[in-house]
Amino acid sequence: MTDNLTPSRRIVRKINDLYIQTRRKYLVQFTDNYVTMDKKENDNVWVLNDGMIRRHLQGTITYGIFSGGFFNKFMTFDVDYNDNEPMARWVTLKIVDTLVREFNINRNDIHVNLSGNKGYHIDLFFDKPLQVADTEAFYYKVMSEVGELPTNGEVEFRPTWRQGVKLPLGIHQRTGNRCWFVDNETLEPIESFDYILDIEPMSADAIMEIDFGITVEQAEEFERVVQETDITANVLDKSEALQNARKIIEKGRLVASGTRHKTTYSIACFGNMQGWEREETVEVIMDILLNTPREYFSKGSKPDYWHKEAIRLVDYVFDNNKTLGNADKPVTIYKSEIIEVLKVGTFRQKQLAYAMLVTSKRYGRVFYLTRSSAKKMLKIKSNETIQSGINKLVKIGFLEYVRRNEIDRARTFETGQVRHKPNKYRLLIKEPKEGESFVEVTNDKDMIDVTFSLCTKEEVRQYVKRYEFGNRWSR
């Protein structure tokens, strides 16, 4: 019974209940960096246990945690404004106000704690596991409503399998500050460990439109570490493989029987070529395989084996930098298309429009560009810059969603977890006129290079604001 536990053990248990999804992978904070501990990579690593959490609360060592991989039972808005505490306070209060006013989240369900370095973590806890992708989608909806924020900091989504978040109530190892929870209206510290004991998870239905009844047991079973297997990969004809990958992604399923292994390898190469993250690539592969009729597979072939193979092949492809070729295939850019790019809002949004244009040229009229790929193309780290840019492109009619946040019901019920189909896009700009000037470009040419290859300085000035031209476009 909880009543028989000491106060310290009750707090440890509460941290377990609210925050911890996996114990095999976690963060340890040192004075100058974080180190990821992963038992899958090193058998000598301890699993995160109650004794370690007690030392975290004592302040002798500080831990952080990751998502379970596909599921989590909480989400964090990580507010970091480069040691500018007044700005971090303002942004934090704005996000809290947006959650209350625009999303009808009960203020009592919003829990804010100090990051320990003049920033804040805004936590929402759920009464059942949610897919990480769904909580991240909610994060983007919230940040879209929050609107543009100062650029000298950022608000990031946490946790994911790659990006962890520090547990509250410990000591920031560099500053020595205790990471107390704070009042979510005044942000004044609540200097008591007991605050966490009164936190109750909110209904997951508050951010999910559809309830598929995922249980804690189902989520934990799915997160089980897959058994390692050997890898054997076929050598593919690159041009044929690229066309097959495009065709498969467009249809969303296998297009011939007996092709699971070859397709898995092809999509892994395709994802590596486009700059996707490994987890994103595995997701696309499983999207395709689980949408394919069972008669396309050999007898006895099971989804858990496909998933295990997808992980192993993706790791092999990414570790050895395998691609399908054509990653830098020249594409033709016309002057009218560059003019449409110049008409877009901010410089970053112009860059995103150009990235979308090049991607559509290279991979087809209907395409998708992941946020990680877009960030690499724009050389930025902010997810919200990408999402706000996409919102802008859709609003002005440069781009449209062919598919957005669409739940795949068949795969959801088959896998026991909420699944979304990948977002797809289509450009809406007019086709170039016959005889129009153009240039052939590859990845070593950026938007500015291509623009000045097709337009004069005076023409660029017609579409670019004076301060932007002086800061970004002057040569």
- Same domain? For 419 and 337 the reply is yes
Examine residue 303 and say whether the peptide bond preceding it is cis (omega within 30 degrees of 0).
no
- Same domain? For 360 and 457 the reply is yes
For the chain, what is the largest distance between any 2 Cα atoms, rounded to a whole number of angstroms?
A: 83
- Range of the structural domain that residue 263 is part of: 238-319
- Same domain? For 310 and 337 the reply is no
Q: Is the pLDDT of residue 232 over 50?
A: no
| CATH code of the domain containing 161 | 3.90.920.10
> What residue type is 461 in one-letter code?
R
- Same domain? For 343 and 306 the reply is no
Indicate the residue among 271, 299, 319 that finishes a domain.
319
Q: Are strands 165-166 and 181-182 parallel, antiparallel or unpaired?
A: unpaired
- Same domain? For 467 and 353 the reply is yes
- Same domain? For 89 and 192 the reply is yes
In a domain, 302, yes or no: yes
Q: How many percent of the chain have pLDDT more than 70? A: 78
Question: For residue 259, what pLDDT band results from cuts at 50, 70 and 90?
Answer: low
Q: Is the pLDDT of residue 183 over 90?
A: yes
Q: How many percent of the chain have pLDDT more than 90? A: 33
In a domain, 424, yes or no: yes
CA distances for 171 relative to 30, 85, 104, 247, 392, angstroms: 11, 18, 33, 52, 41
pLDDT of residue 387: 84
**Residue 185: CB partners within 8 Å, gap ≥ 6?**
96, 107
Indicate the residue among 319, 340, 358 that finishes a domain.
319
- Same domain? For 277 and 193 the reply is no
Q: Is the pLDDT of residue 289 over 80?
A: no
Q: In what order do the strands lie in the sheet with 399-403?
A: 366-367, 424-427, 399-403
Which range of 207-211, 224-228, 343-347 scores highest in mean pLDDT? It is 343-347
pLDDT of residue 296: 58
Scan for tokens 């500050």, then name that residue.
177
In a domain, 232, yes or no: no
Which is more confidently placed, 61 or 152? 61
Compute the distance between CA of residue 23 and CA of residue 116 in angstroms, rounded to an integer: 23
Indicate the residue among 291, 319, 347 that finishes a domain.
319
Q: Which of 16, 54, 63 is nearest to 36 (CA)?
A: 63
| Angle at alpha carbon of residue 360, lines to 319 and 306, rounded to 5° | 40
* Mean pLDDT, range 57-77, rounded to an integer: 88
